[in-house]
Amino acid sequence: MDLRLTQARANDAERAAVDRVVSPALGGTGPSTGPSTGTGTGTGTGTGTGTGTGTGTGIGSLRDEHFADAGHAARGRRHLVLPTLHAVQEDIGWISPGALNYVSLRLSVPPADVYGVATFYAMFSTEPRAPRVVHVCDDAVCGQRGGERLAQRLAAELGGEGSGDEVCWLRSPCLGLCERAPAVLLQRTGEPDYAIAPASVEQTLGAAAGGGPGAAGADAAFDDTSVSAPQTGSGVGASGAAAGAELRLLRRVGVVDPTSLDEYRANGGYTALRRAVGIGPTRVIKEVSDSSLTGRGGAAFPTGLKWDGVAKAPERPHYLVCNADESEPGTFKDRVLLESDPFGLVEAMTIAGYATGCERGYLYIRGEYPLATRRLANAIAQARQRGYLGADVMGEGFAFDLELRRGAGAYICGEETALLNSIEGFRGEPRNKPPFPSVSGLFGKPTVINNVETLYNVLQVLAVGGPAFAEIGGGRSTGPKLFCLSGAVARPGVYEVSFGATLREVLELAGGTVGELRAILLGGAAGSFVLPDQLDVPLTLEGTREIGASLGSGVIFAIDTGADLTEILRRIAAFFRDESCGQCVPCRVGTVRQEESLARMLRRTEIGSREQELALLDDLARVMRDASICGLGQTAPAAIQSAIDLGLLSEGVGQ
Ligand SMILES: Cc1cc2nc3c(=O)[nH]c(=O)nc-3n(C[C@H](O)[C@H](O)[C@H](O)COP(=O)(O)O)c2cc1C
Ligand code: SF4
Ligand code: FES
């Protein structure tokens, strides 16, 4: 593609889409203010030369008159790149050179940079594309549970992947709906996206043809939360205990109307924030430190330590970011919380902001979570309207507001520094650490980044107090923990246990495994395998480490002897190859070589023998682990390495 975009002009619709995002932000009327240097600078003075909008900065005339549009204020608009690209993609169905050019002009970002960002994300298309796109999950869980069959039927009915003028279909990595496999996501020009799961061929074809349930109907299908979180809701829970009994993180799931602030309040909502305000920021951080709460996003960093560092940082402003990018294949726990208890996250973020001196929080949610996005947008709007967010939260004299930012299909944006770059309007490429975000994070300021489940735990810490929370479990593994069960289990879904429960106990909560168990993939695509004779391992940071495994993002993916383990590993390798940001060679090349080797093994066209392929994979794993910049490259070979170590890939062992 030619990067000299200055000749291409946006049409009226494209300009309107961009202006819808940019004008309110620059006018200072919306919540979207960006870095402190960029606030409220809109001029609204330009007359424009044919932009037809009558608002904004009149870019056309300013350029003709060589008006200087630079400096801090201009640079401060860059954080709007992703929202404007979303607006164009949503309204027009693709992002044309003219639209890229107009984004570039309005935000004072070089055209090549805007192009670089637009092409980074899977949900954006810089080529003309059909207005209805069906994303079919063919990842590790769905692929084995009907996703592959669905893809083949769509190919037969609609033509090859990506082809078609009115509708096209594309293969997709995990859509975070594994408990309802197989899953599809409908991306529709000018209309809201929605997911169908489980998706039948007929339903998918109907929706692709423009019929189907529409967003409201599709969302309603998710109202039966007992499918995704079988312990919750009314009736008797999976363990036989009364539903909701003992549940802390999931206690409101399936119980309250997730669209109602009043119901949230009637079910304990905002008591934690009141307690936080009652004891003050320093005591809140002490309670969190005393609780020994560790991050649930994968790295298990002590939350109290992170909060304390930012609270004490002299540089201002401080920022809070919630990482709701949840894209690790097999992971869907955050989605269930976000969809069913969205006010809980708004309250928890407000507490985090209050304790650490942040007046602004960003909630970065994965682009493929349309229902959760709608629920959170509603929760934020209601909280703002009722004084739970804003300049004087609950009349308690402190300010805190939240902005929802949508990702656009890039797993790497879950890595905290890549996420920061994504919010700032750069490609979602990880930064070198140090400096860590608590020192230099969003817009170069001290920043707290926490996972969704971590933040829900804070509500519990404030409910019972830090020391009492620390008594649940022990060591670095304290409090309640969510696990995502999928694959060969009787009742897939999100399950909550206290830290210390064994893998066997959690599997029993889900009704046990189905068929003959071959192995459990624990921790996610970047996790490792556990064998049937290791099911008594306690699911703690310490317990899993002892057997060389890790909890990762809380995935428990059961694989029976009927599944093709080599194919599952090849799909995982393909995922990492696709999602590698490409910045460093060990990851960029290593992920390709891994997939090639596994594909050869599947085709029985090994270079030399199978043992030679395994030796190559082992070599690659060591280089990637030792020399990659970020966690993606370091952990991309983990599952393969673990399968090799456990002999799951050796000649003559299963498939
Ligand atoms: C490739 C990669 C993807 C990640 N994806 C997520 C994610 O989707 N959600 C998340 O909370 N953390 C994710 N993390 C971990 C984050 O970098 C970070 O540690 C976490 O958000 C911190 O929050 P916590 O301390 O509450 O766990 C990812 C890390 C890597 C290396
Ligand atoms: S390890 Fe992979 S994802 Fe991470 S910076 Fe390097 S190339 Fe990018
Ligand atoms: S939604 Fe298909 S594998 Fe997760």
Res. 39 pLDDT band, cuts 50 70 90: very low
Express each pLDDT in 419-469 by its tens digit: 999 999 999 999 999 999 999 999 999 999 999 999 999 999 999 999 999
The number of angstroms, rounded, from the C-alpha of 385 to the middle of its chain's C-alpha atoms is 27
Helix or strand (DSSP H, E) at 450: strand 447-451
Q: Is the distance from CB of 565 to CB of 143 less than 8 angstroms? A: no
Q: What is the pTM of this model?
A: 0.93
When pLDDT is cut at 50, 70 and 90, the band that residue 233 belongs to is confident
- Going from the Cα of 554 to the center of ligand 1, the distance in angstroms, rounded, reads 12
Going from the Cα of 412 to the center of ligand 1, the distance in angstroms, rounded, reads: 9
What does the CA dihedral 229, 231, 235, 240 come to, rounded to 10 degrees? 150
**Ligand 1 binding site (Cβ under 6 Å of any ligand atom):** 295-299, 301, 323, 325-328, 412, 414-416, 449-451, 454, 630-632
Please state, in angstroms and rounded to a whole number, the distance separating the CA atoms of residues 349 and 346: 5
Helices (H), 387-515: 416-424, 452-464, 466-470, 503-509
Q: Is the pLDDT of residue 192 over 60?
A: yes
pLDDT digits (tens, 9 = 90+) for 272-330: 999 999 999 999 999 999 999 999 999 999 999 999 999 999 999 999 999 999 999 99
Please, what is the angle between helix 81-92 and helix 12-27, to 10°? 150
**pLDDT above 70 covers what percent of the chain?**
90
In this prediction, residue 653 carries a pLDDT of 56
Checking if the pLDDT of 5 tops 70, the result is no
Q: What is the pLDDT of residues 445-459, one digit of tens each?
A: 999 999 999 999 999
pLDDT, position 50: 31
Which residue puts its alpha carbon closest to atom 28 of ligand 1?
Answer: 415
Instruction: Give dist(CA 124, CA 107) in Å, integer.
Output: 19
pLDDT band at 35 (very low <50, low <70, confident <90, very high): low
CA of 576 to the centre of ligand 2 (A): 10
CA of 104 to the centre of ligand 1 (A): 30
Q: What is residue 69's predicted lDDT score, i.e. its pLDDT?
A: 62
Find the DSSP H helices in 330-465: 333-340, 342-356, 370-385, 416-424, 452-464
φ/ψ of residue 614, rounded to 5: -65, -35
CB of 141 closer than 6 A to ligand 3?
yes
Ligand 1 atom closest to the CA of 323, numbered from 1:
11
Pocket test for ligand 2, best of 577, 587, 594 (most atoms within 8 A of CB): 587
Amino acid at 390: G
Nearest CA to ligand 1 atom 20: 297
Position 237 scores a pLDDT of 45
Average pLDDT for 18-34? 71
DSSP 312-327: H--SS-EEEEEEE---
Residues near ligand 2 (Cβ within 6 A): 412, 430, 580-584, 587-588, 628-630, 632-633
Residue 175 CA, ligand 3 centroid: distance in Å: 5
pLDDT reading at 650 higher than 50: yes
As a whole number of angstroms, the longest Cα–Cα distance in the chain is 75
Ligand 3 lined by 142 (C-beta under 6 Å): yes
From the CA of 368, which ligand is nearest? 3
